Amino acid sequence: MTIPDDVSGKVRKPGSRVRIRDLPIDGHYRAPHYVRNQIGRIERYCGAFPNPERLAYGEDGLPAVPLYRVRFAQRELWPGYQGSKHDTLELEVYEHWLEDCPADEKDNKDVT
């Protein structure tokens, strides 16, 4: 996978902790509410893609936005989760929805 010049060197590493932001976007978005303010770990970098939240309004979506797979522990996402403590959920998150999450904050221990 080719990494565009403007994001290479800044790509988040697999395993690093991130928090999903709760941006007050009024309109189309690709970050569902159930992951907002939740902490997960980068699973992989998927490449950079035109921003779908701008493409949705007929714009070109450029510059391309880095896209990641982020993994969450299910029991952290859902209070009272009925399932194994090992269960996980992954979804794709664009860079503008991500912020670094210091290690001393609430950890998602079972997510590696």
Under the rule (CB under 8 A), what is the footprint of other proteins?
A: 24-34, 46-47, 49, 52, 55-58, 61, 67, 69, 74, 77-79, 81-84, 86-94
What would the two tokens of residue 108 be? 């998602």
Least Å distance between CB 19 and other proteins? Answer: 17
Taking the complex as a whole, the smallest distance from the CB of residue 16 to other proteins amounts, in Å, to 19
Phi, psi of 32 (to 5 degrees): -60, 155
Q: CB of residue 63 vs other proteins: minimum separation in angstroms?
A: 15
Strand partners, 92: 69
Which is it for strands 65-73 and 88-94: parallel, antiparallel or unpaired?
antiparallel
